[in-house]
Amino acid sequence: MPKSSNVFQRYISAQLYKFNQHIFFLAVLFFVQNKLGAQSYSSKSFFRTYGLTTSDYGTWVAETADQGYLISFNSPFNALVAGGLVKTDCSGEILWQHLYTANNETMLTKQVEEINGSFYVFGAAGNTLNNAQLYFAQLSADGTLLQAKYIRCTNSDDPARFLQASNGTWWLISTGDNNVGYENICVTQLDYNLNLISSKKYSLPQKELLVESAALTPDGELVLCGNYSKGNTFRNAFVMRIGAGGELRWFSSVGHSYDVFLNDVVTDAAGFSYASGYMYDQVSGWDAILVKMNSTGILSGQVQIDITQDDRFRSLTYRDGNLMLLGDFGSFDDRNIFWVKINTTNFAVGYPVQLVWGDPYTNYPYKVVAGSAGSWLFTGDFAESSGKRNAGLVRLNSYDQLGCNALPIDNFTHEVGSLISGIEYPFIQTIQALVTNASFNDIPLIYSTTGICGVYSPSPVASFELTEDCPLSCAQFTDQSLCNPTSWYWEFPEGDPLVSSEPNPRVCYNSQGQKTVNLTVSNSDGSSSTTFSVDVKKDCPLIIPNTFSPNGDGINDFFIVNGLKPSSTFYVYNRWGKKVFGSTTYKNNWDGKIQNSAGESTNELIPEGVYFYTLESPNGTKNNGYIQVVR
């Protein structure tokens, strides 16, 4: 077929694709508008920036157990760079903040996570960035330093990621520079108390080898990504897998005619690895790329996205069969952040959306993570119109939407890329990393925040305490919802009451088993709901009274056995051994009337006096005693 005909077909295909994307976007928008009215918790989104000096940038964001957020950032301070943390509530308002320096040295934060109620921070510290060592620290829930270590693998160490293994040990992944021009990868393992277990170096002969990110596989191994020199002016990317003992499983190169970079990687339950980055295409310039590797390191899928002449993926995260990818595009002095969702099964590409902010200034994203209730969170480096640069925090709702400064990108193309993959074999060397105790200087600071836009609908959380109040079982419910609800609506099927608008209601049940509870909380921004269950186990102590006054005055007119088990057998005899009442499924309903020989109740009340009873539970337990009948 003539070349011109191929070009024409590609043009028509591209136009049809864009048309279909427009239709898809409009359909999604219609769907979102309808869904928000039904379940508005999904509309919870916001955009904030945080600044201390003239050049602050966020490096990582983590959602905390209270559904607040923790942001790590770097900031110039007294001719140095200091690393900091900001803890916010669920709407992004600052709760506390810390700025850290180390022995009058530059200190950079790279990553922060909440694990088992503590915050763990990973970064680098040194008098120059060419003479840096790693640091790894555990902080309390208020940011107080609990323990910290310096880790020196080479003459200069650059942090990539830390990961916690299933056995509680820590993996620290970094790039090492022996000051000979050939960087290598260092993988260091610490025990739970941050003591050294082992450290290994991975290198390619006569080649720079830089690691950018790492992830854990479902079976506890490591997958790393980064780039290395091809022996000339260009660079290849790589994805590699390392066993739990540090052994190399495979090292898969990702190449093209020019440069290829991969800077973030995730894995899924099926053992696939996904890495994102960018490559140079002679026709379209820099394009954002995504690659998929199977469990043996074979390239099994790829996507190339072209928006402008300079498009780059910076980070990605995985949830429920979908990847959320974060990138930036534009010219050198006018760049905007964008995000796009890609399905991991068929690599279907969603509609990219850009964050328009500070135009025409440059904005750079650094990390995206999956949040609660289907949300996505990211941070980065945001330019203000004043010329300052601030750290940012963006929360997209469960429809991948932001309520302000967000526009769809309609002028883009995506296609299966032309990347190639091959296997190389790095050299592995066991090294002795130096691990020493570290201490930080905590500097008081006042970090300002700017709310660009936000919807902060509450998140329902409740606790309950079940108490025995025989013959009923009662539960005291306590609202622990987040984001300041102003109204509550509880539903208790089979309970008493059935509904309540109190924040902390008390509810009783007269039967055992699993009971469903629904809670909806609301404020001026919206509402959200949750459903949970209460396991009512009625096992009250057996209390059999020895007096009984069936005289119709409404007091003690029925013979009530507290803790009576269902299907219990109950018989009553007079002093001569004649049965006056009997039931094989007693329900605390004897009102003192004598039964006839057929076991039917008569209107004759038993006389005052002493009677004898036999009570047998379904499990065969028997209780015998007497009853004093009084009027």
User: Which pLDDT band, with edges at 50, 70 and 90, does 524 fall under?
Assistant: confident
More confident residue, 180 or 257: 257
pLDDT tens digit sequence for 427-441: 999 999 999 999 888
More confident residue, 178 or 163: 163
Supply the mean pLDDT for the chain. Answer: 87
Q: Are residues 274 and 192 in the same domain?
A: yes
Domain housing 470: 462-536
Give the CA dihedral 316, 318, 322, 324, nearest 10 degrees: -30
Q: What pLDDT score does 7 carry? A: 30
Determine which of 64-68, 76-80, 167-171 has the lowest per-residue pLDDT on average.
76-80
Q: What percentage of the chain reaches a pLDDT higher than 70? A: 90
Q: What pLDDT score does 469 carry? A: 63
Q: What pLDDT score does 5 carry? A: 34
Mean pLDDT of 293-308: 95
The answer to the question of residue 259 being in a domain is yes
Q: What pLDDT score does 28 carry? A: 34
pLDDT tens digit sequence for 362-421: 999 999 999 988 899 999 999 987 788 999 999 999 899 998 999 999 889 988 888 999
Residue 30 has pLDDT above 50, yes or no: no
Q: What angle do CA 622, 626, 631 make, to 5 degrees?
A: 140
Residue 521 has pLDDT above 60, yes or no: yes
More confident residue, 486 or 466: 486
User: Which pLDDT band, with edges at 50, 70 and 90, does 26 fall under?
Assistant: very low
**Cβ-based burial of 392 (10 A; exposed 0-12, middle 13-18, buried ≥19):** buried
Q: Are residues 279 and 193 in the same domain?
A: yes
Q: Are residues 297 and 209 in the same domain?
A: yes
Q: What pLDDT score does 29 carry? A: 31
Q: What pLDDT score does 36 carry? A: 27
Closest CA to 507 of 472, 471, 556: 472
Q: Are residues 532 and 557 in the same domain?
A: no
Is the separation of the CB atoms in 201 and 431 below 8 Å?
yes
Question: Domain holding 492: CATH number?
Answer: 2.60.40.10
Q: What pLDDT score does 20 carry? A: 41
Q: Evaluate the omega torsion of the peptide bond into residue 471 and state whether it is cis, within 30 degrees of 0.
A: yes
Q: Are residues 199 and 293 in the same domain?
A: yes
Determine which of 140-144, 411-415, 462-466 has the lowest per-residue pLDDT on average.
462-466
Please name the residues in contact with 94: beta carbons below 8 A apart, sequence gap of 6 or more.
50, 86, 87, 88, 447, 449
Tokens of 325: 């990818």
Please name the residues in contact with 117: beta carbons below 8 A apart, sequence gap of 6 or more.
65, 141
Q: Are residues 205 and 275 in the same domain?
A: yes
> Which residue carries 């140095």 as its tokens?
80
420-423 and 133-139 beta bridge pairing: unpaired
Domain count, the chain: 4
User: Which pLDDT band, with edges at 50, 70 and 90, does 352 fall under?
Assistant: very high
Q: Are residues 295 and 191 in the same domain?
A: yes
Tell which of 496, 517, 536 closes a domain: 536
The answer to the question of residue 506 being in a domain is yes
The answer to the question of residue 267 being in a domain is yes
Please name the residues in contact with 7: beta carbons below 8 A apart, sequence gap of 6 or more.
none
Q: Please give the C-alpha separations between residue 481 and each of 135, 395, 503, in angstroms, as whole numbers.
A: 36, 19, 10
Question: Domain holding 602: CATH number?
Answer: 2.60.40
Q: What pLDDT score does 13 carry? A: 37
How many whole angstroms separate alpha carbon 240 and alpha carbon 245? 15
The answer to the question of residue 265 being in a domain is yes
Tell which of 408, 431, 454 closes a domain: 431
Is the separation of the CB atoms in 342 and 349 below 8 Å?
yes
Q: What percentage of the chain reaches a pLDDT higher than 90? A: 60
User: Which pLDDT band, with edges at 50, 70 and 90, does 43 fall under?
Assistant: low
- SS3 (DSSP) at 37: helix
Is the separation of the CB atoms in 368 and 316 below 8 Å?
yes
User: Which pLDDT band, with edges at 50, 70 and 90, does 470 fall under?
Assistant: low
More confident residue, 264 or 180: 264
Tokens of 366: 């650094």
Q: What pLDDT score does 564 carry? A: 81
Residue 68 has pLDDT above 80, yes or no: yes
Q: Which helix (H) or strand (E) holds 140?
A: none
Q: Are residues 484 and 565 in the same domain?
A: no
Q: What are phi and psi of 509, to 5 degrees?
A: -130, 140
How many whole angstroms separate alpha carbon 126 and alpha carbon 105? 5
The answer to the question of residue 497 being in a domain is yes
The answer to the question of residue 604 being in a domain is yes
Q: Are residues 521 and 600 in the same domain?
A: no
Q: What pLDDT score does 16 carry? A: 36
322-331 and 311-319 beta bridge pairing: antiparallel
Q: What pLDDT score does 33 carry? A: 28
Q: Are residues 302 and 191 in the same domain?
A: yes
More confident residue, 32 or 539: 539
**Chain centroid to CA 264:** 18
What is the side-by-side strand order in the sheet with 472-479? 462-469, 472-479, 506-509
Q: Are residues 512 and 620 in the same domain?
A: no
Mean pLDDT of 567-580: 93
pLDDT tens digit sequence for 263-292: 999 999 999 999 999 999 888 899 999 999
How many whole angstroms separate alpha carbon 460 and alpha carbon 67? 11
The answer to the question of residue 228 being in a domain is yes
Mean pLDDT of 465-474: 70
Determine which of 36-50, 239-253, 564-578 has the lowest per-residue pLDDT on average.
36-50
The answer to the question of residue 197 being in a domain is yes
Q: Are residues 625 and 559 in the same domain?
A: yes
User: Which pLDDT band, with edges at 50, 70 and 90, does 468 fall under?
Assistant: low
